[in-house]
Chain A
Amino acid sequence: MNEKSIHKDAEHFISISEKEGIETVWNRLKSQEPHCGYCELGLSCRNCAMGPCRIDPFGDGPQKGVCGASRDTIVARNLLLTISAGAAAHSDHGRDILETFYETSNEKTSGYMIKDVEKLKKLAIEFGINVNDRNDGDIARELGAKLMEEFGTKQKRLTLLDRSPKKRQEIWERLNIVPRGIDRENVESLHRIHMGVDNDYLNLLLHSLRTSLSDGWGGSMIATELSDILFGRPEPLVSSVNIGVLKENEVNIALHGHNPILSDVIVQAAEDPELIKIAKEKGAKGINLVGICCTGNELLMRKGVPMVGNHLMQELVIMSGVLDAMIVDYQCIMPSVVDVAKCFHTKIISTFDKAKFEGAEHISFDKSRGIEIGKKIVRLAVENFENRIPGKVDIPDKPVEMMAGFSVESILELLGGSLDPLVDAIKIGKIRGVAADVGCNNPKIKHDYGHTYITKCLIENDILVLVTGCAAVANGKIGYMNMDAVKYAGKGLKEVCESLKIPPVLHVGSCVDNSRLLVLVSAIANNLGVDISDLPVVGTAPEWYSQKAVSIATYFVASGVDVVLGIPPAIFGSQKVVDVLTNGLKDLVKATFSVEPSPDKAARLIQKKIEDKRMLLGLSYREIG
């Protein structure tokens, strides 16, 4: 038996797609198979016109590119390009938020305001800005200008690195991988990849670490901080997840992508009485917003907007026949949603000029007219309600309750203002450690199987699991993220969860919000007076697919957190690169990558890593076979 997803709703739509001949990501994966082994191994290079080149993995054929690049150089260059693309995506996202923030401080936007003044001031202080006796706009303006410098060349060191433990900063300085400007590291990556620049695989790998750090402690962290300031700091809340959050008798609008700038005004626009009136005239009871991927996570975290699905659900949700519009911003949006939508009445509306989709309706988003454009988009969806095809309505599951909103600040609040209770729980072993299950979906592994299998094993063994992005939706959907899920937790973790009234799996946010995890582990490390790498903390991305995921994994490792990947990255063509990443990095940054596609073995590996760290800290530990 072959199954593509663990979820009822997904399997239902996949089987319909097969019957009706609607092409999905799984069909396309099949038609791409077999994949090119050179590319899978990272052994192909098409950087220049002397090539393209490939290295024979078996050793009899060509062993050097035309330029003379060895397999190690080629694999390392390709990896740097991947990480750079991921870091650039997060950081450009961060810049978009920053620009909105800056314009808002100049009162040049519509639909935005400084929501969290406290956080604004805290951040401003970190940037050495005087916050006393000044109005919020002034502070924001100065902060905005300072943050813009983080992207450029003026800075010699990213400011937010100061949040990390001193020991960690020393490691970075010693290796000369302290990220300077956010854009600079990305541009330098592209420079180094050019023929005849950086040919030393180790040097390339070190710059990979630096570039990823410019994402985690730079672009992503700025995105998270400013999103909190503009849209509100997440607080624990209860919402729901899966296809059942769609409502047959309401106008359904899915918000898909990553950037909350647009979706936040859509939420405001959907509350517009006039639009609700039109919806009712069309026969709908109201307007129902749902989220997909990280735009969804941003809204869920702050506003409790329910999640309809994660990455691999994006094509399938359209098949419900009740989705009146899918509004997309950027990142991880399959161009194919347009094609699936053609079989239904769903309108795909693209909004960012840098992310257009052939066949989609494009409404160019402009933050100075945010509310106006938001209303225009919602109106399109409302007007599309009457185009529904009655026979095609299909909502095959009931929603599952899911908690969200666990920002670092809200976790601290839950703990009573100090990390001590959490640290103590770890010390005495009620909680063995913390694992971050992050990253995407990938059709190469059964949808959400990796995330949920690993999570289950970990919480059973008293490991607190923090989730972001698609991993969060996976775990929410299977019911690990509501109070009922406490029953799955081991004895110690259960006790902690019950006393704090939290589920054993905490939703920390979108994928840029992985920066929250950096802040959290830094705070814990500082509390204990140790380095991040000393903590019983592990990251895992069992179903990753994107360049962004590689960047996240790399900044975790560069920050001292071991990472276990489920999908093999394109590095196996070079034994030297593999050795450095899986072993050599231990000496350099005190953390390494592991690749373990079997969720069962991955879970045991994570557990072992956590118990090993406990042992080194002198805490009680368990032998893991």
Chain B
Amino acid sequence: MMKRIVILGAGPAGITVAETLRKFDKTSEVIIISDEPYPPYSPPAMTEYFLTGKAFHLWKGSNFIDNYLNAKYLSGKSKRVVEVDPESCRVVLLDGEEIYFDNLVLATGSRLSASIKGMEKEGLYNFKSLSAAEEIMEKVREREAKSALVIGAGFIGIEIAVLLKELGVKVTQLVRSRYMRGMLDEEAAGVLMHIMENKGIDVLKGSDADTVEFMGDPDVRSVRVRSGKILTADLMIAATGIRPNVEFLSGSGIKVNDGVVVDEFMRTNYSQIYACGDIAETINRITRQRVVYPSFYNAVNQGVITAYNLLGMNIRYEGADRINSIKHIGIPLITAGDVDSKDGSSVVYKKGKGFIKKIFLKNGRIVGFILLNDITNAGIFKRLMDRQVDVSSYRDRLLDENFGEGLLYRSILKIM
């Protein structure tokens, strides 16, 4: 009997599940359901798309689902899933359509979140999805937006601020504490701020950057910050944080904590239902704590593991990574792991002409690193960190010019 696998969401996680499935299983019926009206796209390439107009974001091509996945694709607002019934293996769509499944994959991603007064009002834009981004771009293309206020200084905040600046919009960014808090330490965040300011972005800090309320009626027209100032711009863009799209699961019996709780095989509390990507609550590869780490890399990795387990391979997920490469700031910047911990970690540090490199260690093992404008050995550091290799015997050489695969592979010190 032909199996039916339903995948909710056509983002990186959902598409990867389908793609990996198809490598091994050409016969099962695959249905992908998405409420976005676009072919599958990759969010990290959106900026490039808007900058160049070329479809970089369609990373699997525009006809991927039809041509390669041989899957049924239900997309658009009316195809939003409103109910999941694990007991009868059935999902219900907004237009009333009921779909039964043998296996269900939850990969509905995440959306903007902020616990700020006035958050629910209209006229507040974000850059979390292609639909949301298109709304911003329309304003820019129509020349309705000449200035923008970007609230937040995380990964997405940086992307949209740089993109708008490149497109000729006057950008003000509110940086409450520092750029990429949690992903960069103070020094690197300082360098990043310098870069942003040099690009011509107006950076507001401290109480001038701490948003208290979105004001305007009915649409958001300005924000009030803690210092009491009222800031305004043509475009108000929130990049304050994201949260998993899990509301439609309430009452379904599927266990949800910060995100959908999955085991090491990416299974929810119902063995026929899996979850992956931004909505999944997994474990941190190194600390083994339960986390929701929304990122393209984790989404894709989890998608692959989900597919393997759908196929019955019983492959464990090693854990989610906190790692990112910050694009479009003019220099490469890679940050990974725990770079902000105060307890018991030591730092290997090297600063040179135009670059800063830092490796954070705990108990002789790498727990995080920041590579700013020199990404030499980035993947090797990640490998040593992922495997929690004891590097204490060569810790001082990690940032040497000659450190690398050669030294790891061929050492008279027998370090590996």
Complex Cα spacing A21 to B402, Å: 16
B403 CB to closest chain A CB (Å) equals 10
| B402 contact set on A, CB distance < 8 A | 30, 33
| B352 contact set on A, CB distance < 8 A | 21
Complex Cα spacing A589 to B352, Å: 54
Cβ of B396 < 8 Å from any Cβ of A?
Answer: yes
Cβ of A2 < 8 Å from any Cβ of B?
Answer: yes
| B374-416, CB < 8 A from A | 396-397, 400-402, 406
Cβ of A34 < 8 Å from any Cβ of B?
Answer: yes
Cβ of B54 < 8 Å from any Cβ of A?
Answer: no
Cβ of B353 < 8 Å from any Cβ of A?
Answer: yes
B400 touches A30 (CB 8 A): yes
Pick the contact of A31 from B353, B396, B401, B406 — CB < 8 Å? B401
A21 CB to closest chain B CB (Å) equals 5
| A31 contact set on B, CB distance < 8 A | 401
A34 touches B401 (CB 8 A): no
A11 CB to closest chain B CB (Å) equals 15
A21 touches B353 (CB 8 A): yes
Cβ of A27 < 8 Å from any Cβ of B?
Answer: yes
Count contacts on A: residues with CB < 8 A to the other chain: 8
Most-contacted residue by chain A among B396, B397, B402, B406 (CB, 10 A):
B402
A275 CB to closest chain B CB (Å) equals 39
| A30 contact set on B, CB distance < 8 A | 400-402
| A598-613, CB < 8 A from B | none
Pick the contact of B396 from A2, A21, A33, A34 — CB < 8 Å? A2
| A33 contact set on B, CB distance < 8 A | 402
| A1 contact set on B, CB distance < 8 A | 396
Complex Cα spacing A2 to B399, Å: 14
A344 CB to closest chain B CB (Å) equals 17
Complex Cα spacing A1 to B393, Å: 9
| B397 contact set on A, CB distance < 8 A | 2
- 1/0 contact string of B305-338 vs chain A (CB within 8 Å): 0000000000000000000000000000000000
A2 CB to closest chain B CB (Å) equals 7
Nearest-neighbor residue (CB-CB) of B402 within chain A:
A30
Complex Cα spacing A34 to B353, Å: 25
- 1/0 contact string of B328-364 vs chain A (CB within 8 Å): 0000000000000000000000001100000000000
B400 touches A34 (CB 8 A): no
A200 CB to closest chain B CB (Å) equals 38
- 1/0 contact string of A343-381 vs chain B (CB within 8 Å): 000000000000000000000000000000000000000
Q: A21-B352, A21-B353, A34-B406 are in contact. Are A27 and B396 (CB under 8 A)?
A: no
A554 CB to closest chain B CB (Å) equals 31
Complex Cα spacing A379 to B402, Å: 44
Nearest-neighbor residue (CB-CB) of A29 within chain B:
B402
A27 touches B406 (CB 8 A): no
| A166-182, CB < 8 A from B | none
Nearest-neighbor residue (CB-CB) of B351 within chain A:
A19
B352 CB to closest chain A CB (Å) equals 5
Nearest-neighbor residue (CB-CB) of A27 within chain B:
B401
| A34 contact set on B, CB distance < 8 A | 406
Nearest-neighbor residue (CB-CB) of B410 within chain A:
A34
Complex Cα spacing A31 to B402, Å: 7
| A28-69, CB < 8 A from B | 30-31, 33-34
Nearest-neighbor residue (CB-CB) of B354 within chain A:
A21
| B406 contact set on A, CB distance < 8 A | 34
Complex Cα spacing A31 to B376, Å: 14
Nearest-neighbor residue (CB-CB) of B352 within chain A:
A21
Nearest-neighbor residue (CB-CB) of B397 within chain A:
A2
Complex Cα spacing A30 to B397, Å: 12
Nearest-neighbor residue (CB-CB) of A1 within chain B:
B396
| A27 contact set on B, CB distance < 8 A | 401
B388 CB to closest chain A CB (Å) equals 24
Complex Cα spacing A1 to B395, Å: 10
B402 CB to closest chain A CB (Å) equals 5
| B400 contact set on A, CB distance < 8 A | 30
| B353 contact set on A, CB distance < 8 A | 21
A3 CB to closest chain B CB (Å) equals 12
Nearest-neighbor residue (CB-CB) of B396 within chain A:
A2
B225 CB to closest chain A CB (Å) equals 41
| A2 contact set on B, CB distance < 8 A | 396-397
Nearest-neighbor residue (CB-CB) of B401 within chain A:
A30
Complex Cα spacing A375 to B397, Å: 48
| B396 contact set on A, CB distance < 8 A | 1-2
Complex Cα spacing A31 to B352, Å: 16
A393 CB to closest chain B CB (Å) equals 23
Complex Cα spacing A33 to B402, Å: 8
Complex Cα spacing A99 to B406, Å: 53
Complex Cα spacing A27 to B400, Å: 10
Complex Cα spacing A139 to B11, Å: 98
Nearest-neighbor residue (CB-CB) of A31 within chain B:
B401
A370 CB to closest chain B CB (Å) equals 43
| A1-32, CB < 8 A from B | 1-2, 21, 27, 30-31
B161 CB to closest chain A CB (Å) equals 31
Complex Cα spacing A27 to B406, Å: 17
B63 CB to closest chain A CB (Å) equals 49
- 1/0 contact string of A421-457 vs chain B (CB within 8 Å): 0000000000000000000000000000000000000
Nearest-neighbor residue (CB-CB) of B353 within chain A:
A21
Complex Cα spacing A543 to B402, Å: 23
Complex Cα spacing A64 to B355, Å: 48
Complex Cα spacing A34 to B400, Å: 14
| A299-319, CB < 8 A from B | none
B356 CB to closest chain A CB (Å) equals 12
Complex Cα spacing A27 to B353, Å: 15
B350 CB to closest chain A CB (Å) equals 9
Complex Cα spacing A33 to B401, Å: 10
| B103-138, CB < 8 A from A | none
Complex Cα spacing A21 to B352, Å: 6
Complex Cα spacing A297 to B46, Å: 68
Complex Cα spacing A2 to B400, Å: 12
A296 CB to closest chain B CB (Å) equals 31
A339 CB to closest chain B CB (Å) equals 14
| B401 contact set on A, CB distance < 8 A | 27, 30-31
Nearest-neighbor residue (CB-CB) of B350 within chain A:
A18
B346 CB to closest chain A CB (Å) equals 16
Complex Cα spacing A45 to B111, Å: 66
A37 CB to closest chain B CB (Å) equals 13
Complex Cα spacing A34 to B407, Å: 11
| A492-513, CB < 8 A from B | none
A15 CB to closest chain B CB (Å) equals 12
Complex Cα spacing A21 to B351, Å: 9
A17 CB to closest chain B CB (Å) equals 12
| A319-359, CB < 8 A from B | none
| A21 contact set on B, CB distance < 8 A | 352-353
List 8 additional A-B contacts (Cβ < 8 Å) besides A1-B396, A2-B396, A31-B401: A2-B397, A21-B352, A27-B401, A30-B400, A30-B401, A30-B402, A33-B402, A34-B406
User: 12 pairs across A/B with beta carbons < 8 Å?
Assistant: A1-B396, A2-B396, A2-B397, A21-B352, A21-B353, A27-B401, A30-B400, A30-B401, A30-B402, A31-B401, A33-B402, A34-B406
Top 8 A-B residue pairs of the complex, sorted by shortest distance between their CB atoms? A21-B352, A30-B401, A30-B402, A21-B353, A33-B402, A31-B401, A27-B401, A2-B396
